[in-house]
């Protein structure tokens, strides 16, 4: 069963005023079972990112990740951001819990080419955790757009020196899938860091 509405993605407009990005309010097809997707999301109770190879997900989450990692999805990103991802490597991680220390203003690592974030929160209760794409590096209130963490909300951006983003401190469940297209020489370090982090969290519980 297909989950993602590719037509919505294809029609999204890229904003290039500060750094290239686009946002889709809900990438899913109308007939998908949102409750099942939430049920199949791993029960992550620790902060940080978990590489998909280190945790167990239900069938619908695996289907979703396969679609996000598909050639069709990659082609849409290549067209929108005018990049060639043939040599890029893909790293996919999941987040399930936000800590108060998370969300500080930052740009993504220069090892990354593109970042894609898909939020999966039903009945999102608090705007504090909403992602803000920023005009600069020192003020969360000076933002280009606020991305809600609601179910199906997707944002993709090109990693540049000016791709500042962050969110107000929020502690609690905050479900998301993150894709990073990475320069090939940097993938091993990226994956090793996330796998080590996941392993340490598992043994320190």
CATH number of the CATH domain containing 74: 2.60.120.620
Which two tokens mark 87?
């040599």
How far apart CA 20 and CA 162 sit, in angstroms, is 10
Question: Among residues 41, 46, 39, which one has the least CA distance to residue 194?
Answer: 46
In whole angstroms, what is the distance from residue 33 CA to residue 30 CA? 9
Does some domain include residue 1? no
Beta pairing partners, 15: 21
Structural domain contains residue 184: yes
Q: Quote the pLDDT of residue 126.
A: 78
User: Higher-confidence residue: 143 or 193?
Assistant: 143
Please report which confidence band the pLDDT of residue 9 belongs to, taking 50, 70 and 90 as the band edges: very high
Render pLDDT for 138-170 as a digit per residue (tens, 0 to 9).
999 999 999 999 999 999 999 999 999 999 999
Does residue 108 form part of some domain? yes
Task: Spell out where 73-188 has E strands.
Answer: 89-98, 112-119, 131-134, 143-147, 154-158, 165-166, 172-182
pLDDT bucket at 125, cuts 50 / 70 / 90? confident
CA end-to-end distance (rounded Å), the chain? 36
Place of tokens 């992550």: 44
Total domains present in the chain = 1
What proportion of the chain, given as a percentage, has pLDDT over 90? 83
Structural domain of 80: 6-203
Report pLDDT for 188. Answer: 58
At 53 the pLDDT is: 87
Is 15 part of any domain? yes
**Of 97, 82, 84, 112, residue with least CA distance to 185:** 112
In a domain, 55, yes or no: yes
Alpha-carbon separation of residue 179 from 61, 68, 135, 137, 141 (angstroms)? 14, 8, 23, 23, 26
């Amino acid at each position: 069963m297909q989950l993602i509405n590719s037509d919505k993605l294809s029609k999204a407009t890229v904003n290039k005023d500060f750094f290239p990005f686009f946002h889709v309010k809900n990438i899913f097809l109308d007939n998908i079972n949102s409750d099942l997707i939430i049920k199949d999301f791993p029960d992550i109770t620790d902060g940080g990112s978990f590489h998909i190879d280190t945790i167990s997900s239900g069938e619908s989450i695996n289907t979703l990740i396969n679609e996000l990692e598909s050639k069709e999805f990659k082609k849409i990103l290549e067209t929108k951001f005018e990049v060639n991802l043939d040599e890029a490597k893909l790293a996919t991680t999941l987040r399930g819990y936000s800590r108060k220390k998370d969300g500080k203003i930052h740009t993504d690592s220069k090892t990354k080419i593109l970042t894609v974030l898909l939020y999966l929160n039903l009945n999102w209760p608090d705007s504090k955790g909403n992602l803000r794409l920023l005009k600069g590096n020192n003020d969360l209130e000076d933002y280009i757009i606020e991305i809600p963490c609601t179910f199906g909300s997707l944002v993709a951006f090109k990693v540049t020196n000016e791709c500042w983003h962050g969110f107000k401190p929020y502690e609690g469940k905050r479900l998301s899938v993150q894709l990073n297209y990475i320069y090939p020489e940097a993938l091993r370090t990226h994956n090793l860091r996330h796998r080590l982090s996941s392993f340490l969290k598992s043994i320190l519980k």
